[in-house]
Structures are given as C-alpha cells and as structure tokens.
Amino acid sequence: MFEVDHPATQAWKRERLAAAGILSPETVTFVPVDFETQALATELESAGFSRAHSAVFVWLGVVYYLTPEAARATLAYIAGQGGAVEVVFDYLRSAVTEEERAHERTRADRLAGVGEPLFSYFSPDGIAAELLALGFTGVEDCSGPDLIAGYGAVCDGAPPPALYVLRMLRASR
C-alpha cells in the first residue's frame, strides 16, 4: 500500500502517529508528493509502484486544493494504469444558487486565511464527461446529503450548507 500526500502534511501525520506510539505497518510505503510541482507517476515509480497491476486510488480531501490542471493530470495518470483501476475522490461542485455562492465565498476566504486556498470546482456532468473521456466507466457520483442518508445518519434539520456542494465520486476502468 502506498500512502501519498503533500510532503508537509504527510510529515505532520507521521509525527502525530509516532507521538501517539502508533507504528506504521511494514506494508505501507510513504510517498510525499506535491501534485502541483511533482509528477505522481515519477514519485510512485521511484517508491516501487507498478502500473502493470490493478490498483485502487482513494483520493480524499485533495482535489479542491489543486488547480484543475493538476487534478486532471492526476486523473489521467490513474486512468492510464495497466490493470483494472478504480478511483474514489471527493470534489466541490460549482455553486449554482446565490446562497451557495455566498457560502462558497465564505468557506474559501476562511480556508485561504489559514493557508489552504481552494482552487477547483467541477460540475457533476463536467467531471463525469472528463472521466468517461479518460476511459473510466461505471461513474458513480453522490451528493453530501445522499451520502449522509446512505449511511443512515440522522441530522437535526437540514445538512450544513457545505454538504450541498461536497460530492463523492467513484469511477472504474
């Protein structure tokens, strides 16, 4: 298994695990990658990853922090695996209503203020078309409220506004 994350984030996670006395399994290979400046292919290959085998990429909490170009380049790399491949990732849907745009601006300003600016938003139809063009099939896209309902979670009132634009997507090839 390969754990890929931004170098600073991955170092922080590893420090937290060590401080808690949690050992990493020997089967985990840590691969620090800055998706904006480094090629995932190069970094994974140098860590021993083989594109010839089937693979599952779980890419959560990343896409919206990347430029659309970096996100697309990574999806193209994933689609180009030699064996069967599946990718699961979350993304932010482009705001549709004025209320969503207001929440989007507030969230983006707050995150940028702590050094985590948001760069990518996609429409469900647009990202599905991109994935299909890359050769993915079986694209499943779920909204935040649908995910909550699917797990039988109970919310007091309406879900938070952020959940209306957060989406989880699964695609296979």
Question: Does the CA dihedral 116-1-90-53 come out positive or negative?
Answer: positive
Residue pointed to by tokens 């949690």: 22
Tell me the pLDDT of the chain averaged across its residues. 87
d(CA 70, CA 65): 10
Question: How big is the CA angle at 162 (ends 161 and 168), to the nearest 5 degrees?
Answer: 130
Cβ partners under 8 Å of residue 94, min gap 6: 121, 122, 123, 165
Q: What is the pLDDT of residues 13-66, one digit of tens each?
A: 999 999 999 998 999 999 999 989 999 999 999 999 999 999 999 999 899 999
Q: What is the pLDDT of residues 55-78, one digit of tens each?
A: 999 999 899 999 999 999 999 999
Task: Please tell me the pTM assigned to this model.
Answer: 0.82
Dihedral angle over CA of 116, 42, 53, 32, nearest 10: -40
